[in-house]
Chain A
Amino acid sequence: MKKIKKGAGISRRGFLSGVSKACVAAGLGVYALERSAAAAEKAARPKSFGKAKAVIQLWIWGGPCQIDTFDPKPGAGYDYCGPLANPIPTNVDGIMIGQLLPNLAKCADKYSLLRSLSHGQGAHETAAYLTQTGRMPGRYVFPCAGAVVSKFKGYDSGYSKMIPPYIVMTTPQGRFSESGFLGNKYKPFATGGDPGRVPFEVEGIVARGISRKRQEIRRDILASTNTFNLAMASSGYLKKSDEAVEQAYNLVLGDAGQVFDVSKEPDSIRQEYGRDRFANSCLIARRLVEYGVPYITINYGGWDTHKGHFEAMNRMLPPTDKAVAALINDLDRRGLLDSTIVWMTGEFGRTPKIDWAPPYCGGRGHWGEAFSQLIAGGGFKGGVVVGKTDERGERVVERPISPGDVIGSIYSNLGIDPDATLTTPQADIVRIVPDKPEEGIVSGGLLTEIM
């Protein structure tokens, strides 16, 4: 858990700085090359390019176990499977998944499983960064997928809804700054509050017990507490702030806040998702997609199961299975799955071999050599397994997938050219996803088999 492969890390960094130096030296030449390559590739865009309008990222962090979920290895024996040795068949011939996922087993035709993710990183923060940016630590802190989408699909690009274009339920990640060098403007709006409670009090948007009338009186008091505003009026220094207040009130006094209210849903739907925090978050995410928000992250921790792993799986997987399956089916019934990507991942997987010795007594450590992701909708085909690991789930043996492959594919389906570039504060032009694999990471290219 605490070990970073030091030697490897340094050599990668060294390599990276070499690359960036080379880029600086070549300057515009490299850039021009990239552009012409981009033009060439435009002709050969995958069929699913531009199919998706929104992403729901289920960020199950801490490192969810691949063997107990999407890449079961019943043949590996008790030391690998522990008590969860009986994976179940799905509604797609030949696809088996973990026994605690019966609901997801019934809708495997609607999602695909990526079983050959690999980045070799065992530290939460580096892996979390890598999985969501496609980048190894280097010269810049890159923005994660949500921030890039909020740049390309948000207010800069014609998005005009009152609810911000990038929402995280409920707190920012903390491990790294999601917006990277893009800065504060592209950070997610964190809802705060507890989606498990009804009404869900979204910080700033939904306030319990403050009537509309009182909101309006307050606003009048605020408007008349203005000696300073009047003194400063001709300077224009407060203009932006005034505009922000107006926007805020559109949201407070308008009805956009109802998007967060799961009690507007019929009981059957509530039942289908479940009623816990994560289930409600999934349901709200669907409502946000309907409203038009392009990127929603559900920040769902608790998967760092060094100890008591199987107890945790028995406790956490059933409600997770129920909610994710409900989300996928619900989106599908509403015709939204075709335009909505559901992307479920942690930062890495867990050691296939169980640590029975104290103090772990049946725990699993961090595992970045091989792990799985689920991806559905928005132009991605369902019912496909991409990639393969060995018989113990320890190494990738077929079709390696790098984090950048997944992110680039998501961008492509959203209609964002993976060759698109961003400008750093140091005025360098960089691609939104790497054009070649970061050192130490094997890439198999975009997920064309399911695009």
Chain B
Amino acid sequence: MRIVRIAAVLSCACLACGLVGAPSGVSVKEAVKQPAAKADLKPEKKPQKDGGDLPKKNAGVEKTGKGASAKEACKTAPDVSPYESGAEFVAVNKIDEIVARNLKLRGLKPAGLSSDAVFLRRAYIDVLGTIPDEKSARKFIADASKDKRKRLVKSLLSSEGYAVRMAQRFGDVFRIKAEFPINLWPNAAQAYTRFVFDSLNGDMPYDVMVRRILTSEGSNFRVGEVNFFRAMQSKNAASIASNIALSFMGMRFEKMPESMRVNMAAFFERVAYKSTKEWKEEIVFYDPTKRAPFSGTLPDGTAVRLSSSEDPRAAFADWLTKKGNPYFSRAVANRMWYWIFGQPIVSPVDDMFAENPPANRELLDHLAGYLESNGFSLKKLAAYILNSRTYQQSPIPRCDSGDARKYFAVYPVRRMDAEVLIDVICKLTGSAEIYESTTPEPYTKFPAGESAVAMPDGSVTTSFLELFGKPSRDTGLDSERVNAPSASQKLHMINSWHIRVKLESGEPMRALYARGKHKFLEGAYLAFYSRYPTEAEKKNFNNMRLKRSQKEKYYIHYLDTAWALLNSEEFINNH
């Protein structure tokens, strides 16, 4: 409640003083329609911020709590130094040029450059699904070399963690799940995840990967990718086509014209399934009894004629993965941009159709072209995005916050994914979760310490993961993942036994508490936030301690401070 009050007071106050660019009464839609009016839309300039300075005085709770007037709150502008360097937007690659041009046209001001610490933390989350440890944070912040961000990107992308995190994301799209309603069964879910992981880890060209999936044959336990043809409730040609539309074209099958749907499904009429003597094994194969000359029509209208020895799936895969196919590389470019940057170019990321225009068409086309001209390497595309100045913006918008997010004028703050959040908490506190799948038999138990991001089977879940919106992988739709905050989530973080035990008895936490009053805070900030505390924060820590009775030891104060860090927005959000 208190937090809300302060935030409200501050934002009202600032708007009143004109510190922040107030919306000038022209709606976004109007602005787009009337580019002439763009000058009016330009937010007023923010006061110059000097990143090198010592942290400015904090409009802390003490002061505001005692009834600081709105005017006073305004005088002490919020301290943004931990989050941005203050440098202006300078394009470093073509992404930036395109984004900057678009922002200029819309009269939007890009955000400042993120601080090293903020960049480090977000790159870890976006690429690996975890946060750096204290040591890595110290090292990176201290590193004075100019190319340190570039080197970090390179090292993150070459670690296995990249493939683990990407396999989790593709796993959501592909519905990799043992149980109801997808029913891949555990062995098959694991084999499928293994295929996806290996492909990404070796940076298999994306067109090759998709072609392999679409033309696969064999046992669900042994040829992981055949499970693409099994991960659906009704195994028929229309379902297969629908999955291809969603997974590889970023489109909703049901929105395609009827004729296109029928034509697309026809390419998959000859996929057949048979069981074996091994329990739950299923062979996916090209049905030899259906061998016959094939004539069909591809989604772009091209007619296809095949002899009876050819598999229509291969013809479809050839068309789909061909360079220049607008349905293919743009779809994956949109997803990669979304996965790394956090805000899709076409939104929702899996609902691309003519009437749903991209926020920046040129950017989408450029990324798709970049992917194609770099051998369909997803890693290269990821590196390209991560190294852009656009990605490296601060999370603090310098113009209308909604537009800033939509048009990439800010790095979008969002809660860490459920799996990432629990992994990060476990990593910080040296604790582990128990992951198991108790249906169907035989039970699947994972070794202690296995990470949630690395779970090869979407059926494996916990109360925590459910609470924080892990997708059920029933449909493959991105909307299944819900990162919106809820009171129940806050209750769990604030007050649950589950989290409390981790904070109280986790080995790294106890070591942190044992460091003593001069070293605890710095270590804690580096561990939770990947940055050093500001002077104001150090002062606040000491002031809060004075509120305790003499009897209460430092330990309790350390513990409660760590608890507060864990519950803070700076921690739980990827920024």
**Which residues of A pack against B, CB within 8 Å?**
1-2, 6, 10, 13-14, 16-17, 21, 24, 123-126, 128-129, 137-139, 141, 164, 171-172, 174-177, 180-181, 183-185, 187, 189-190, 192-193, 201, 203-205, 207-208, 210, 214, 217-249, 251-252, 425-428
Given that A192-B496, A229-B6 are contacting pairs, would A425 and B475 also be in contact in the complex, using a CB cutoff of 8 Å?
yes
Q: Is B142 located at the chain interface by the 8 A CB criterion?
A: no
Nearest-neighbour CB distance to chain A for B252, whole angstroms, equals 7
CB of B463 within 8 A of CB of A24, answer: no
Which A residues are in CB contact (< 8 Å) with B486? Answer: 185, 244
Given that A125-B180, A223-B3 are contacting pairs, would A230 and B79 also be in contact in the complex, using a CB cutoff of 8 Å?
yes
CB of A234 within 8 A of CB of B20, answer: yes
CB of B233 within 8 A of CB of A13, answer: yes
Which of A6, A242, A244 has the largest number of chain B CB atoms within 10 A?
A242
Stretch of B145-153, B206-214, B321-329, B434-442 contacting A (4+ beta carbons < 8 Å): B434-442
A to B CB contacts below 8 Å, 27 in the list: A10-B235, A13-B233, A141-B475, A164-B488, A177-B472, A183-B479, A184-B469, A189-B488, A190-B466, A190-B467, A192-B497, A203-B497, A207-B500, A208-B497, A219-B2, A225-B561, A226-B568, A227-B78, A227-B79, A233-B10, A236-B11, A241-B415, A242-B3, A243-B4, A426-B252, A426-B254, A428-B254
CB of A217 within 8 A of CB of B548, answer: yes
Which B residues are in CB contact (< 8 Å) with A251? Answer: 487, 491
Q: Is B494 located at the chain interface by the 8 A CB criterion?
A: yes
Q: Is B236 located at the chain interface by the 8 A CB criterion?
A: yes
Residue of A nearest to B488 (CB): A189
CB of B78 within 8 A of CB of A233, answer: yes
CB of B536 within 8 A of CB of A227, answer: yes
CB of A222 within 8 A of CB of B568, answer: yes
Nearest-neighbour CB distance to chain A for B446, whole angstroms, equals 15
Which of A141, A183, A234 is the one whose CB lies under 8 Å from B11? A234
Q: Given the complex of chains A and B, what is the CA–CA distance between A166 and B526 in angstroms?
A: 39
Residue of A nearest to B484 (CB): A240
Residue of B nearest to A248 (CB): B490
Stretch of B58-66, B86-94, B332-340 contacting A (4+ beta carbons < 8 Å): B58-66
Which A residues are in CB contact (< 8 Å) with B484? Answer: 184, 240
Q: Is B391 located at the chain interface by the 8 A CB criterion?
A: no
Q: Is B544 located at the chain interface by the 8 A CB criterion?
A: yes
Q: Is B388 located at the chain interface by the 8 A CB criterion?
A: no
Q: Is B489 located at the chain interface by the 8 A CB criterion?
A: yes
Given that A181-B475, A226-B3 are contacting pairs, would A235 and B463 also be in contact in the complex, using a CB cutoff of 8 Å?
no
Which of A2, A203, A222, A230 has the largest number of chain B CB atoms within 10 A?
A230
Which of A16, A241, A248 is the one whose CB lies under 8 Å from B569? A241
CB of B495 within 8 A of CB of A220, answer: no
CB of B233 within 8 A of CB of A204, answer: no
Which A residues are in CB contact (< 8 Å) with B498? Answer: 192, 203
Which A residues are in CB contact (< 8 Å) with B496? Answer: 192, 203-204, 207
Residue of A nearest to B183 (CB): A125
CB of A238 within 8 A of CB of B494, answer: no
CB of B395 within 8 A of CB of A141, answer: no
Majority DSSP secondary structure for residues of A touching B? helix
Given that A24-B254, A224-B544 are contacting pairs, would A125 and B61 also be in contact in the complex, using a CB cutoff of 8 Å?
no
Which A residues are in CB contact (< 8 Å) with B575? Answer: 228
CB of B560 within 8 A of CB of A221, answer: yes
Nearest-neighbour CB distance to chain A for B284, whole angstroms, equals 15
Given that A187-B466, A204-B491, A234-B11 are contacting pairs, would A229 and B3 also be in contact in the complex, using a CB cutoff of 8 Å?
yes
CB of B495 within 8 A of CB of A139, answer: no
Q: Is B83 located at the chain interface by the 8 A CB criterion?
A: yes
Which of B236, B404, B441, B569 is the one whose CB lies under 8 Å from A228? B569
Which B residues are in CB contact (< 8 Å) with A427? Answer: 254
Q: Given the complex of chains A and B, what is the CA–CA distance between A189 and B492 in angstroms?
A: 11
CB of B497 within 8 A of CB of A238, answer: no
Residue of B nearest to A10 (CB): B235
Q: Beyond A175-B439, A207-B500: 20 further Cβ-contacts under 8 Å?
A: A124-B440, A137-B233, A174-B438, A190-B467, A192-B496, A203-B491, A210-B495, A222-B3, A223-B6, A227-B58, A228-B82, A228-B573, A230-B59, A233-B11, A234-B19, A235-B396, A244-B485, A245-B1, A246-B4, A426-B252
Cβ < 8 Å to A, chain B residues 384-426: 395-397, 401, 404, 410, 413, 415
Nearest-neighbour CB distance to chain B for A2, whole angstroms, equals 7
Given that A220-B61, A227-B536, A237-B413 are contacting pairs, would A248 and B254 also be in contact in the complex, using a CB cutoff of 8 Å?
no
Q: Given the complex of chains A and B, what is the CA–CA distance between A232 and B118 in angstroms?
A: 14
Nearest-neighbour CB distance to chain A for B146, whole angstroms, equals 26
Residue of B nearest to A24 (CB): B254
CB of A129 within 8 A of CB of B61, answer: no
CB of B82 within 8 A of CB of A223, answer: no
- 1/0 per position for B207-226, CB-CB distance to A under 8 A? 00000000000000000000
Which A residues are in CB contact (< 8 Å) with B378? Answer: none
